[in-house]
Amino acid sequence: MLVSYRPGWKQTLCRTAFRTALSGAGFAILVLLGAPGWLLVLAPVAAVVALAAGLVLHRSLGVVADEAGLRPTTGPRRVHVPWGRIVDIRAERRGGATVPVVYWDSGAAWRLRAPYDGWGCARDPEFEQKIFALRNLWETRRAWVRAEQP
């Protein structure tokens, strides 16, 4: 493994807190609508479980760059993009954040889950350096793949 990118601890905490606040708003709506008592007891427990799961799962999202190419840190391991099949790596605005997008020679695009740069506490002050390092790895490895081909 050459490099691995995952969301930072502040990004993980803020995103999880935001989602937990949304579930709290849902709980408040249930209270206002007069939900049954068993549901009112279950809702805070579900919020705590969602908070814990969100902290663990969001932190595990990311990408690993190794000698062979790029692969996600979670999900199906079949997704692997060799350096030679990558046409471009760009930083693009998607959904309120700036994320790296990898374009394949087949025309497909893969939005990487990390690194990313957002607003507020989702800000990553080292985002530009991470994108530069990722692009540098790609350009270096791509040159090696071309040099190895007869």
Domain ranges of the chain: 3-60, 79-148
**What pLDDT, on the 0 to 100 scale, is given for residue 102?**
92
State the helix-helix crossing angle for 37-60 and 9-32, rounded to 10 degrees: 160
**What pLDDT, on the 0 to 100 scale, is given for residue 88?**
93
CA distance 104 to 109: 6
Give φ, ψ of 66 to 5 degrees: -125, -170
**What pLDDT, on the 0 to 100 scale, is given for residue 75?**
67
Q: What is the mean pLDDT of the chain?
A: 81
Q: What is the mean pLDDT of residues 85-95?
A: 91
The percent of residues in the chain predicted with pLDDT above 70, rounded, is 89
| 42 CB-contact burial (10 Å; exposed 0-12 / middle 13-18 / buried 19+) | middle
pTM of the model: 0.70
With bands split at pLDDT 50, 70 and 90, how would you rate the model's confidence at 89? very high
pLDDT digits (tens, 9 = 90+) for 24-50: 777 778 777 877 777 667 777 777 887
| Span of 34-43, 61-70, 89-98, 100-109 with lowest mean pLDDT | 34-43
Q: What is the mean pLDDT of residues 90-110?
A: 90
CB distance 99 to 128 below 8 Å: no
| 84 CB-contact burial (10 Å; exposed 0-12 / middle 13-18 / buried 19+) | middle
